[in-house]
Amino acid sequence: MAGANASSASRVHILEPADLAASLSKVTVLDARDEKDFLAGHLPGSRHVDWKDFTEERPGLVHAVTGDPARWGKIAPPSTRLQERLRDLGLSNEKPVVVVGSPSGWGEEGRIAWCLLAWGASDVALLDGGFPAWKGGVESGKAVPAARGDFRVRLDESRRIRLDRFRAEIAAGHARILDVRTPEEFAGKTMPGQKRGGHLPGARLVPYRSLYRANGTFATKEELLTLIGGAPDARTITYCTGGVRSGLLTVLLEARTGVAVRNYDGSLWEWSADPKLPLVAGSD
């Protein structure tokens, strides 16, 4: 059975603001918040990234009528264009990269970190507490162009699961499914682009807000294990609406436990588009 890595070859960790301040000149910092928040203030030298720019088809209302929501959450496949965009951000495979988000967001920092790991980055961190926790200097306005990197995209399929494989593992009883949305969505509320409501049969709800503590820092190892019902393993698969919030959970689990579980990046945008695939309404 294809499954998650028992341990990760890449280094994924949660970085304290003081530690980032001490190493700021040695890392690449990506800011995954809304562009307006980035323009209002960001870490010195950081670059803005929007996860929606790195998918098979950019999600959003513009493409709601003519586009295909089943493609909205899927990670962008390797291409020369993708590689050039990552190099323009100053990225190199071996250079440490830190992703900054916001505890009030949707887990965008986790999605970007997960994408980078899947594309071949070897050292990725999330800033604990996100931008609100940063106490150092701040810049505003557009970022100064970065020194060009030499990133090479090598997609690691073991970090994700595609629909056909997911269905096969569910049928074989091999899937341990974690739903990283809200209780309302789990019970049947739909999000834009989602064709049907409900949750996958047998899924366990891990409310995405619970991935952040009250002070904005990320959940501890003990808190995560309680949320998911024990240690993650090769059967563990996460999903949400479009693989963003579930991407955050996969990265946090890897950082806290050393186990790289799989993210179903197609998530409900893809699953709900096929009326033959089951969804359960209600809170179980």
158-271 shares the fold of 11-133: yes
Q: Are 247 and 110 in contact (CB under 8 A)?
A: yes
What pLDDT, on a 0 to 100 scale, did the predictor assign at position 144? 85
Question: How confident is the model over 65-98, as pLDDT tens digits?
Answer: 677 999 999 999 999 999 999 999 999 999 999 9
Give yes or no for residue 62 having a pLDDT over 70: no
Question: How confident is the model over 114-161, as pLDDT tens digits?
Answer: 999 999 999 999 999 999 999 999 999 999 888 999 999 999 999 999
Residue boundaries of the structural domains of the chain: 11-133, 158-271
List the strands of the sheet with 262-263, edge to edge: 204-205, 176-179, 236-239, 262-263
**CATH 3.30.160.40 fits domain 11-133:** no
Q: What is the homologous superfamily of the domain 158-271 according to CATH?
A: Rhodanese-like domain (3.40.250.10)
Banded model confidence at residue 173, pLDDT cuts 50, 70, 90: very high
Q: Where do we find the tokens 């604990």?
A: 128
Q: What is the pTM of this model?
A: 0.95
